[in-house]
């Protein structure tokens, strides 16, 4: 009674939330590997992804819809890098503009199969796995070959193999989707 009202003067004065307050989630493009773990654990399905192939270039677009998000923090808790998507302290999402502005989108480049052209995994995720494994990545031929290609330490592949062609033993060293890898292992 002596100190006055306990409530904050929010609209007239900015409210400073507590340090552990769960607010609007943001993608950090440099740390996000595009694995879609956040989209898979999102209870209200506020995070979505779409894979597209345009002119031979495969991309994954990740979108977080802030107007659907319940700020539960599952996306941040399940991110493998722990920094790809993080909750901020922002809570005031009111806008007079279109609700379509209440979202954030990022794009990630995808790796495609050297034989059939199907998308396999985001480029950043493959590099993250190789760096996380360190010297152990030398046990996986396609992973180390891909890693060497990124570092410009491997020969560039000539032209992709055709779908109907016979798999050779050397095809097992290519970056392949699970279906093509299985066929290459069986037929070689």
Name the burial class of residue 107, with classes exposed (0-12), middle (13-18) and buried (19+) by CB atoms within 10 angstroms of its CB: middle
- Identify how many contiguous H helices and E strands the chain contains and give both numbers: 5, 6
Beta strands at 47-54 and 57-65: parallel, antiparallel or unpaired? antiparallel
What does the longest C-alpha to C-alpha distance in the chain come to?
A: 86
For the chain, percent of residues with pLDDT exceeding 70: 90
For residue 182, count other CB atoms closer than 10 A to its CB.
11
Q: Is the pTM of this model over 0.95?
A: no
Question: What is the C-alpha to C-alpha distance for residues 105 and 144, in angstroms, rounded to an integer?
Answer: 31
Please provide the size of the chain in residues.
Answer: 188
Domains and CATH numbers, the chain: 1-111 (3.30.70.3270)
Convert the pLDDT of each residue in 50-101 to its tens digit: 999 988 899 999 999 999 999 999 999 999 999 999 999 888 787 888 878 8
Structure tokens at 125: 């995720």
């Amino acid at each position: 009674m002596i100190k006055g009202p306990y409530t904050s003067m929010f609209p007239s004065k900015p409210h400073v939330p507590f340090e552990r307050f769960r607010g609007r989630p943001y993608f950090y493009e440099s740390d996000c590997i595009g694995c879609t773990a956040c989209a898979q654990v999102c209870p209200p399905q506020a995070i979505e992804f779409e894979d597209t192939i345009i002119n031979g270039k495969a991309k994954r677009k990740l979108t977080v819809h802030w107007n659907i998000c319940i700020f539960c923090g599952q996306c941040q808790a399940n991110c493998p890098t722990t920094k790809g998507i993080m909750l901020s302290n922002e809570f005031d999402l009111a806008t007079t503009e279109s609700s379509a502005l209440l979202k954030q989108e990022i794009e990630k480049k995808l790796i495609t199969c050297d034989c059939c052209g199907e998308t396999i995994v985001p480029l950043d995720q493959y590099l993250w796995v190789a760096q996380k494994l360190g010297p152990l990545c030398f046990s996986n031929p396609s992973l180390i070959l891909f890693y060497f290609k990124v570092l410009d330490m491997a020969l560039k592949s000539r032209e992709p193999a055709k779908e109907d062609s016979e798999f050779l033993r050397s095809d097992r060293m290519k970056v392949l989707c699970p279906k093509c890898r299985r066929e290459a292992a069986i037929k070689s």
